[in-house]
Amino acid sequence: MAQPHWKMAVDVNRCIGCHACSVACKVEHDVPLGSFRTKVYYYDEGQYPKVKRHFLPTMCMQCEDAPCLKVCPTKAIRKDADGVVRIDEQKCDSNGACAAACPYGAIWISTETGADKCDFCSNRLANKMQPACVETCPGDALVFGDANDPDSRYSKYMVQHGKEFTPIKPEAGTKPSVLFRGQNADIEKKIVAGQNHDPHTYEIENWASLKPPGKG
């Protein structure tokens, strides 16, 4: 079989903001409270009565030019041939440089097991299963598959809609493998570079704000 290249497209038009991806991920990987591999951002835009609510599901972007990989002093991070950026738990010393370098807040540090982030559910890929977030998504907003296989759901979706998909935070220059369409232009500002998704961003007081939340 040909070497797969795993990619994801997030069709935000189909997202209902339900957090199923985030919870499926936390159950799958036993991610502790306060840390996230996958998180959904909310942004309320406009003034009454013309108000819209925007969602943005995010995860590791599996960058082609991954800054986490470049800064890792113990060379624990690699980009594999299947396109997935993976962390070697044995080589990681929890120094945190990777988390600080990530523009997408995708990496959290466990003092027990090292750096951790989305790896497209590699344990599931190994058993021919879709990532947990993709499988559960009620709106089919997360489109995943092998970009090398023209019959994959991802490839077919991109043939039809590919021109409309772009990375978020393109100015970071990391060439993400996860692309988006339909998202509000400003909502990505809620993601703070260099720190894992702040759980306080979802507190309702912060829905209408693009600034990082103050705690408490």
Partner 1 sequence: MEKINRRTAIKTGLGALAGLSVGELIRLDPLMPGEAFAKAGDVVRNRPRRRIDYSKAKYVTSVCLNCSTVCGLIGTVIDGKLVKVAGNPNDPNNGFSLCAKGQASVLVSEYPERLLYPLKRAGKRGEGLWQRITWEEAHAEIARRIRSAMDQGVPEEVAIHIGRSRLGEEFGRFLSAIGSPTQLNHRALCSSAKRAANYISLGETDWETIDAERSKYFLNFGSNFYEAHQGAIHLARRVVKARAELGAKLVTFDVRLSNTAGRSDEWFAPTPGSEGAIALAMANVLLAENLQDSKFIATWCDLSEAEIRAFVAPYTPEWAAKESGVPAADIKRLAIEFGRAAPTCAAFTNRGSDAHYNGMHNSRAVVMLNAIVGSIGKPGGYCYGEEPRVPAFFADVEPRPPRPTRTSVLENPPEYPLANKWQRMRVGQLVYAYLKENRAKIQVYLSYTLASPTTWPEGRSLAVDVLKDESKIAFHACSDVVYSETAHYADMILPDAAYTERWGFDFRNNFALRRYVTLRQPMQKPPGECLSFADSLINIAKRLGPDVAKYYPFDSHEEQMRMRMQKHVFPSGENGWDFMRRTGVWNDMEQQTFHELYNWELTAKQLEGAKLDEATGFYRKAGADGVERVIGIRVDGKARRGFPTPSRKFTLRHPDLIEAGNKVGWPDDGLPRHVPIPAHADMPADRFHLVSFKWNVHTQGRTAPQKLLTEIVHDNPMWINTQTAASLGIKTGDDVEITTYRPKGATYQPTGEKVGSAVVRVVVMEGIHPRVLAVSNSLGHMYGGRAATAKSAPRGTNPSYSSDPKTEDSDLAERVWWDKAVGGKGAGFNINAILPIQPSPLVGMQGWYDTTCTIRKV
* CB atoms closer than 10 angstroms to residue 66: 23
Residues in 187-206 that interact with partner 1 by CB under 8 A = 199, 202-205
Cβ of residue 31: shortest distance to partner 1, in angstroms? 9
Nearest Cα neighbor of 38 from 55, 25, 56, 20 is: 25
Cβ of residue 172: shortest distance to partner 1, in angstroms? 27
Nearer to partner 1, 73 or 216 (CB): 216
Contact call for residues 62 and 86 (beta carbons, < 8 A): no
3-state secondary structure of 110: strand
Contact call for residues 54 and 183 (beta carbons, < 8 A): yes
One residue of 74, 95, 110, 148 binding partner 1 per CB under 8 A = 110
Strand runs labelled E in the chain? 6-11, 39-47, 50-58, 77-79, 85-87, 108-110, 114-116, 142-146, 178-181
Q: How far, in Å, CA of 43 to CA of 209, rounded?
A: 7
Nearer to partner 1, 2 or 111 (CB): 111
Nearer to partner 1, 148 or 207 (CB): 207
CA-based angle 184:25:135, to the nearest 5? 80
First vs last Cα of the chain: how many Å apart?
53
Nearer to partner 1, 2 or 160 (CB): 160
Does position 116 interact with partner 1 (CB under 8 A)? The reply is yes
Residues in 44-83 that interact with partner 1 by CB under 8 A = 44, 46-49, 51-53, 55
One residue of 64, 65, 89, 93 binding partner 1 per CB under 8 A = 89
One residue of 6, 11, 102, 118 binding partner 1 per CB under 8 A = 11
Per CB under 8 A, the segment of 1-9, 15-23, 94-102, 164-172 that binds partner 1 is 15-23
Q: How far, in Å, CA of 61 to CA of 166, rounded?
A: 12
* CB atoms closer than 10 angstroms to residue 178: 24
Nearer to partner 1, 60 or 174 (CB): 60
Residues in touch with partner 1 (CB under 8 A): 11, 13-14, 16-20, 22-24, 26-30, 32-34, 44, 46-49, 51-53, 55, 89, 110, 112-113, 116, 123-124, 126-127, 129, 132, 135-141, 199, 202-205, 207-208, 215-216
